[in-house]
C-alpha cells in the first residue's frame, strides 16, 4: 500500500485534540514558510491515504515511495503501524538511481503514543534499500525512551543533554546533511503553537557533525520506521538545499509582503464597466445612485468604496464591501451615506491585503460615472415631500412657468420642475442639474415661496420640501 507524499506544494493543518495544545503547521502563515517549489528538495505530507492519480495531479511528479507491510495505513496524518518494522520510504529524486547533489536539511514533524519507538533514517539506495547512512531514533522503553543517533561505527549515542520523549508533545527531528564531508548533525526539538498561531521551537538535544555510518558517500532515499504496532502522527517532512551553513538551520520563508493589492480589472456587471480597464475617466453609465462595482484584485484583499480619494483605513468600516472580502473577486456597493447627487460623479475603491499593506490614497484612483435619471428622481422626491406635507386641496404642476412681481415692481420669470397651488398660495421647486441654471426667484410672502436644490440626495430633497411646506402652509 502506498501513502501520500506531496512534493513542492503544501498547505495543511493538523489538529491534535488529545495534546496539551493543538498543533498546526500552515505553509505561508504565521511562520511565513515558503510555498515556492524551488525552495525545497522534498516537501511531503501524510494527511490522507495515498492515491497515485491524486499524487501525480498534485505534485506534477510521480516520486517513488513504498510502505511495508501493505496492511499499514495513513489516514488524516496518522500513520498506523501494524508490527515491528513498519516503514515508509521516499526517494529524494525522480530519478531513483540519482543521489542528492547538494547539501540539505530535513525536518520531520511527529508525535506518538505509548513507548513510541520511532526512527528517521537515510539510505544509500532508493526506496530505503542499501545501507543506512544516518539514524535518529527514539529508543525502546528499556533504555528510557530517549533520543539517540548512530555514529560512524553504527553505535547508538545519546543526544546532549539526554532527551526523553512523551506523548503530550509534538517533536521535530532535524538532520543536517553535509554531502561533501559525508557527515550529519542531529537535533530533537519540541514544537507548539503560541496564541497567535505561530510555531515555537525549543531545542531539547543535539549531536555534533558525525561521519555517516557504513562508509556511505551517497544518499538516495529517506525512511521512517516504527518498531511496534502503534500510531505515529507525521504531518510533514520538509527538506531544503543549502549552500551556506547558516541556512542549514533556517527553513525557507517568504519575503515579507510589503506590496499593496492593485485592481487588475473591472467587469460589465452592476454599474461598473470595462471602459475603466483602459481609461477610468471614460465614464460608465448607470441610473443607480448607490451603484455596485465589480472588480478583481491582484491578491486576496479587503476593500471599501466611497467618495474620497483616501486609503482603506481612512474610508472607515462603514464603507467596507460585503461581497468578496478576503478574496480576489469583489462586489462593492456604495452606501446610502454616499448617495450620488451629481450627473457626473466620481467614486473610489480602496483595498488592503492580509498584511495590512495599502496605498496612501485610494487603490483605484477616480472612477467616473455618468448618472442618468437624476432629474426624474428629483421630481419624484419633490412630489413625495408634497404628499407628506399636504393632505388634500392642492394641485401639482410640472415644468410650470411662473411670473412674479414684488413690491418694488421688480419682475422675474422662470420654469420650475414642480409647482403647487393651494388656495391663495403657490410653492415652486427646482432640482438643479448639470445643464440647469438657478431661477433665483424671490419669495413673495405669503403668496409665493420658491426653493431650488443642487447636489442633494433624494431624501434631502423630500425633507426640505416638507420643511418649507410645513412652515408656510
Give dist(CA 227, CA 138) in Å, integer: 10
**Residues making up the chain, counted from first to last:** 473
Residue 63: what pLDDT? 52
Please give the backbone phi and psi of residue 417, each rounded to the nearest 5 degrees, phi first.
-60, -45
Q: How far is CA 50 from CA 10, 56, 337, in A?
A: 15, 11, 55
Q: Omega into 433 within 30° of 0, i.e. cis? A: no
Among 371, 397, 420, the domain boundary falls at 371
- Are 87 and 154 in the same domain? yes
Residue 27: what pLDDT? 36
In this structure, the strands spanning 284-286 and 367-371 are parallel
Residue 197: what pLDDT? 72
28 part of a folded domain: no
Q: How far is CA 135 from CA 217, 335, 381, 402, in A?
A: 15, 64, 83, 101
- Are 65 and 206 in the same domain? yes
Question: What is the domain range of residue 51?
Answer: 37-249
54 part of a folded domain: yes
Residue 63: which residues within 8 A CB-CB, separation 6 or more?
5, 7, 42, 55, 90, 91, 94
Q: Do the Cβ atoms of 84 and 44 come closer than 8 Å? A: no
- Are 342 and 267 in the same domain? yes
- Are 215 and 312 in the same domain? no
- Are 355 and 382 in the same domain? no
Residue 74: what pLDDT? 62
CATH number, domain containing residue 182 = 2.60.120.560
Sign of CA pseudo-dihedral 253, 257, 261, 262: negative
Residue 148: what pLDDT? 93
Residue 353: which residues within 8 A CB-CB, separation 6 or more?
257, 260, 261, 299, 300, 301, 302
Residue 6: what pLDDT? 27
Residue 277: what pLDDT? 95
Radius of gyration of the chain (CA): 37
Q: Which residues of the chain have pLDDT under 50?
A: 1-29, 47-62
Strand partners, 386: none
- Are 167 and 314 in the same domain? no
CA atoms within 13 Å, Cβ hemisphere of 469: 25
18 part of a folded domain: no
243 part of a folded domain: yes
53 part of a folded domain: yes
Residue 138: what pLDDT? 85
- Are 243 and 115 in the same domain? yes
Q: How far is CA 88 from the centre of its chain?
A: 34
Q: What is the pLDDT of residues 269-295, one digit of tens each?
A: 999 999 999 999 999 999 999 999 999
Residue 177: what pLDDT? 97
For residue 269, give the C-alpha cell.
456587471
Q: What is the pLDDT of residues 341-398, one digit of tens each?
A: 999 999 999 999 988 999 999 999 999 999 999 999 999 999 999 999 998 999 999 9
Residue 328: what pLDDT? 94
CATH number, domain containing residue 345 = 2.60.40
Give the orientation angle of helix 458-472 with respect to helix 374-389, to 10 degrees: 30
Q: Do the Cβ atoms of 220 and 97 come closer than 8 Å? A: yes
Amino acid at each position: 500500500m502506498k501513502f501520500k507524499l506531496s512534493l513542492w506544494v503544501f498547505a495543511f493543518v493538523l489538529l491534535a485534540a488529545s495534546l496539551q495544545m493543538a498543533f498546526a503547521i500552515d505553509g505561508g502563515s504565521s511562520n511565513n514558510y515558503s510555498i515556492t517549489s524551488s525552495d525545497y528538495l522534498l516537501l511531503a505530507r501524510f494527511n490522507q491515504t495515498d492515491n497515485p492519480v491524486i499524487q501525480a495531479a498534485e505534485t506534477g511528479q510521480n516520486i517513488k515511495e513504498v510502505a511495508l507491510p501493505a496492511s499499514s495505513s495513513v489516514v488524516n496524518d496518522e500513520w498506523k503501524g501494524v508490527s515491528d518494522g513498519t516503514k515508509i520510504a521516499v526517494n529524494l529524486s525522480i530519478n531513483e538511481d540519482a543521489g542528492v547533489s547538494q547539501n540539505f536539511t530535513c525536518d520531520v514533524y511527529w508525535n506518538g503514543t505509548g513507548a513510541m519507538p520511532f526512527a528517521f533514517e537515510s539510505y544509500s539506495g532508493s526506496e530505503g534499500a542499501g545501507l543506512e547512512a544516518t539514524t535518529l531514533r527514539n529508543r525502546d522503553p528499556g533504555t528510557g525512551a530517549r533520543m539517540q543517533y548512530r555514529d560512524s561505527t553504527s553505535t547508538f549515542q545519546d543526544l546532549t543533554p539526554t532527551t526523553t520523549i512523551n506523548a503530550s508533545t509534538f517533536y521535530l527531528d532535524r538532520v543536517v546533511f553535509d554531502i561533501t564531508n559525508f557527515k550529519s548533525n542531529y537535533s530533537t526539538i519540541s514544537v507548539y503553537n503560541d496564541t497567535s498561531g505561530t510555531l515555537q521551537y525549543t531545542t531539547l538535544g543535539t549531536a555534533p557533525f558525525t561521519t555517516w555510518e557504513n562508509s556511505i558517500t551517497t544518499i538516495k532515499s529517506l525512511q521512517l520506521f516504527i518498531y511496534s504496532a502503534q500510531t505515529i502522527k507525521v504531518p510533514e517532512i520538509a527538506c531544503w538545499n543549502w549552500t551556506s551553513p547558516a541556512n542549514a538551520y533556517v527553513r525557507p520563508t517568504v519575503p515579507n509582503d510589503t506590496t499593496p493589492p492593485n485592481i487588475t480589472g473591472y467587469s460589465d456587471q452592476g454599474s461598473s464597466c470595462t471602459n475603466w480597464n483602459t481609461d477610468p475617466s471614460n465614464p460608465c453609465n448607470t441610473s443607480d445612485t448607490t451603484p455596485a462595482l465589480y472588480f478583481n484584485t491582484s491578491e486576496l484583499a479587503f476593500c471599501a468604496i466611497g467618495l474620497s480619494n483616501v486609503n482603506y483605513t481612512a474610508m472607515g468600516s462603514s464603507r467596507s464591501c460585503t461581497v468578496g472580502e478576503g478574496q480576489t473577486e469583489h462586489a462593492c456597493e456604495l452606501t446610502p451615506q454616499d448617495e450620488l447627487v451629481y450627473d457626473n460623479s466620481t467614486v473610489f475603491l480602496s483595498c488592503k491585503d492580509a498584511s495590512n499593506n495599502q496605498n496612501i490614497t485610494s487603490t483605484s484612483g477616480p472612477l467616473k460615472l455618468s448618472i442618468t435619471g437624476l432629474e426624474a428622481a428629483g421630481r419624484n422626491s419633490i412630489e413625495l415631500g408634497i404628499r407628506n406635507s399636504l393632505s388634500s386641496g392642492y394641485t401639482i404642476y410640472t415644468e410650470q412657468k411662473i411670473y412674479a412681481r414684488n413690491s418694488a415692481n421688480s419682475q422675474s420669470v422662470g420654469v420650475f420642475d414642480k409647482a403647487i397651488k393651494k388656495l391663495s398660495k403657490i410653492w415652486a421647486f427646482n432640482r438643479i442639474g448639470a445643464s440647469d441654471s438657478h431661477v433665483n426667484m424671490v419669495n413673495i410672502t405669503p403668496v409665493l415661496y420658491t426653493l431650488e436644490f443642487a447636489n442633494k440626495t433624494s431624501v434631502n430633497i423630500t425633507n426640505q420640501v416638507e420643511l418649507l411646506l410645513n412652515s408656510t402652509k
